[in-house]
Amino acid sequence: MGRRMKYIRHRKFGIILFPDNNDDSMMHSSIAYKFGRSNIISAGFTRLKDGKFVCYGMSESLNMKSIETDTPLLNSHFDL
């Protein structure tokens, strides 16, 4: 599996990826507020597995989970 990344899913912009630095410098909530918190649909983590992204888990800072449609949406952004 590849390195874990964080993501938020925005109503207008789709999925926004950012590094998981294992510290508080890049929290889901800090990224979400830059794009408008009320437009966030889901949030969690993603990794590459067998050449495709897999979304999972939840954001504690937003209290939001990944949802079933996040994985296919993210993969469609990259034509995977």
Are 19 and 26 contacting, i.e. CB atoms less than 8 angstroms apart?
Answer: yes
Tell me the per-residue pLDDT of 35-55, one tens digit each, with 9 for 90 and over: 988 999 999 999 999 999 999
Q: Containing H/E element for 74? A: helix 70-77
For residue 55, give both structure tokens. 């979304």
Are 16 and 7 contacting, i.e. CB atoms less than 8 angstroms apart?
Answer: yes
The type of residue at 47 is: R
The type of residue at 15 is: I
What's the whole-model pTM score? 0.90
What is the domain extent for residue 49? 5-77
Task: Return the half-sphere exposure (C-beta side, CA atoms, 13 A cut-off) of residue 38.
Answer: 0
Residues of the chain with pLDDT under 50: none
Count of structural domains, the chain: 1
